[in-house]
Structure 1
């Protein structure tokens, strides 16, 4: 049997009701026989357990009522425990106990009717004398009225308990719905907060990518411009006595390059400071100007193209421009500027292959007493530079790849950039 947990005030109420039902017979001068004390005790114990354990209470009521009828005891005040227990079975019992309580209502009404009509005829003055049809009808009426009386006495408390049970169930359902609504609102709030955090994280990533792009562009612009300025300044220093006109041209190139670099740096710094929109970026059509600038800086460049050019996105055009710019800058700083730099654009159906081939400087003669000249450092011997990694990153962000290798005194940069519209272009920003 399952014992329910009750609050203290509920236990007190049940004990008081049981005590009242137990001592009530003492207030009436009614002699019920020698078994009345046993019946009263059984009913009182059933009342004590009516909410603690409705099955125990129902069993005690049935056992006590059966004992009462077997001993032909008369009705007494403690019999009020029967409807109270039936109410408890409907209100607090399990589904099985509840339906056993309903079954007890029907069986109790039938048994009680037979007990009163045939065993204790003195209770309601029922007579069995049948001398005519009228007497038979009266007996049937007495039986019917007695049955209905017991049915109402036992059934109404059970119905009341069922109504209370339904009300409690409805209240629990409303409470559960409120809890579910609160949980849903909390979950919705958590989802909204997670969405805001995701948006914030995406914004932070975008900002970081933008700063990385600006830093990359800053490196390309400054490195290229300084390489041109250094080369022109070195040339002007050696030519200003023998060929003043060439020295003047070199100084003009230095001034022009410095102004362009200053303008681009100002744009990049303005983007970094004010989060402005991206300024116009170089595209493939600007390569001619780049070649002219690098030629003026002292390089010999052979730019060729084969195949049918395809329409590329601005990000891919910028990547190609920066790769060519960085390669030419490296040649100007570390390669043999007397040899021709070959730049080949090979347009294929699905991609564009860009090959930049330059001549390496011969290795310097080993002299322990001197240090190598800065112009004799080979590309693959530099440490800590960002040029080649930056080119590889640009190619990868455009959906392509970049490789470098050297052989036969040549240093070759090969970039493959997708040119089909089906390839999703990765934004550099």
Structure 2
């Protein structure tokens, strides 16, 4: 692409160089006549605008050469300005102008040869058909064309170097942009993971604490021992939640991804804590347990945890919660079903849709990220999950997690 616009600094540099060249050529031009001064001025103008407008520069240079030949002037020092003009046509001109510059170099060498070897000798009365005239003419044409084409080639080389630098600069900019996008994506993924973990830890622990606190409040007068046991459970759950929150905050501060995460062996403790909170959980596990990768174990644990948390918060705590874990060679299937509380069903109009709305957190005081978090956890490990009303009017969570073995890498 041509340089259609250049900075003022570059234009000022070109003008200064043209003036310096003019001062060097001026003594030689003063030895001639008015045609030399006109040609010198024209060549200086061509040099001044060679990067601002290479096409005008080439045209002005040709005009100066015509004036010089019309006045039958011999080669002068200012003729070297043609080299700078040809350099600029290939270095800064467009595609058409670039090839016009090459054509001008070849045609100019031919015209200069004819002018110096034929026209000037004729006008000065010399013999143009000497024994060595054609040899001299051939040498002059080859030398002048080589010099002019060399100047044009130097401009083409400079253009290639400049274009290469521009391509590398754009590649580096694109690489930096891609790295920034990847970094932002990684940060966003990490934030989402920590947000899911925070929600799972806090929501589950608070649900247990609320259930135990309600039980302790009603049993405080009639069953002090039960109230004391409930308060002890609240204390233990709160301490555990506080420890988990501290781990998550440490991840936020230090960007460490190796913090302890729950595994399948922690399911028993999870269910035991929910049972202590007053929920009747019935666990049925079939098939031979397979070894899962860390991410898959976390997904199974968190899905069960969130489903039990929803059952504790929105379900009928007097009815049992069925947790079924079915192991197969290709996947592990999870099914958690519970009955929706009567007041929750009433809030939804007694319909299954109302049960879904309440369990999904559409109530103003309910968490809004539980069902979404379970879907995300299943999808991240290549599984699937569905949550909705069951056939008995309750709520049912069904998930399928691929049985991918642990990686030792």
Question: Into which bin does the TM-score normalised by the smaller protein fall?
Answer: 0.5 to 0.7
Q: Which runs of 5+ in 1 are unaligned?
A: 21-49, 65-74, 83-111, 113-148, 425-429
Q: Which runs of 5+ in 2 are unaligned?
A: 1-57, 76-105
Inter-partner Cα distance in structure 2 for 1:224 and 1:281: 15
Which residue among 391, 408, 413 is the counterpart of 2:397?
413
What TM-score results when the alignment is normalised by the length of structure 2? 0.67
1:51 offset after TM fit, Å?
Answer: 6.8
Matched, 1:390 2:373: yes
Equivalent residue number for residue 387 of structure 2: 404
Moved beyond 6 Å, runs of 4+: 50-53, 55-59, 364-367
Inter-partner Cα distance in structure 2 for 1:261 and 1:247: 21
1:307 offset after TM fit, Å?
Answer: 2.0
Inter-partner Cα distance in structure 2 for 1:320 and 1:303: 14
Inter-partner Cα distance in structure 2 for 1:236 and 1:190: 67
C-alpha change, 1:203 and 1:225, in structure 2 (3 Å) is: same
C-alpha change, 1:207 and 1:404, in structure 2 (3 Å) is: same
Which residue among 355, 367, 371 is the counterpart of 1:378?
355
2:71 counterpart SS class: helix
1:383 offset after TM fit, Å?
Answer: 1.2
Inter-partner Cα distance in structure 2 for 1:192 and 1:163: 43
Contact kept? 1:307, 1:346, Cα under 8 Å: yes
Equivalent residue number for residue 34 of structure 1: none
User: Per-residue displacement from partner, 1:152-189 (whole Å, max 9, x unpaired)?
Assistant: 21231222211221232233223212221221122112
Q: How does 1:258-297 map to 2 (within 5 A)?
A: 258-297=238-277
1:17 counterpart SS class: coil
1:289 offset after TM fit, Å?
Answer: 0.8
User: Per-residue displacement from partner, 1:198-251 (whole Å, max 9, x unpaired)?
Assistant: 112111111111111111111111111110000000111111222222111110
Contact kept? 1:231, 1:298, Cα under 8 Å: yes
2:200 counterpart SS class: helix
C-alpha change, 1:11 and 1:336, in structure 2 (3 Å) is: same
Q: How does 1:349-388 map to 2 (within 5 A)?
A: 349-362=329-342, 378-381=355-358, 382-383=361-362, 385-388=368-371
Inter-partner Cα distance in structure 1 for 2:393 and 2:193: 33
Matched, 1:222 2:202: yes
2:386 counterpart SS class: strand
Equivalent residue number for residue 14 of structure 1: 69
Q: How many residues align structurally? A: 307
Equivalent residue number for residue 331 of structure 1: 311
Equivalent residue number for residue 348 of structure 1: 328
Equivalent residue number for residue 199 of structure 1: 179
Equivalent residue number for residue 232 of structure 2: 252
1:327 offset after TM fit, Å?
Answer: 0.4
C-alpha change, 1:259 and 1:379, in structure 2 (3 Å) is: farther
Contact kept? 1:232, 1:250, Cα under 8 Å: yes
C-alpha change, 1:309 and 1:234, in structure 2 (3 Å) is: same
Inter-partner Cα distance in structure 2 for 1:191 and 1:417: 41
Inter-partner Cα distance in structure 2 for 1:348 and 1:318: 18
Q: How does 1:57-76 map to 2 (within 5 A)?
A: none
Matched, 1:168 2:145: no
Inter-partner Cα distance in structure 1 for 2:296 and 2:346: 43
2:226 counterpart SS class: helix
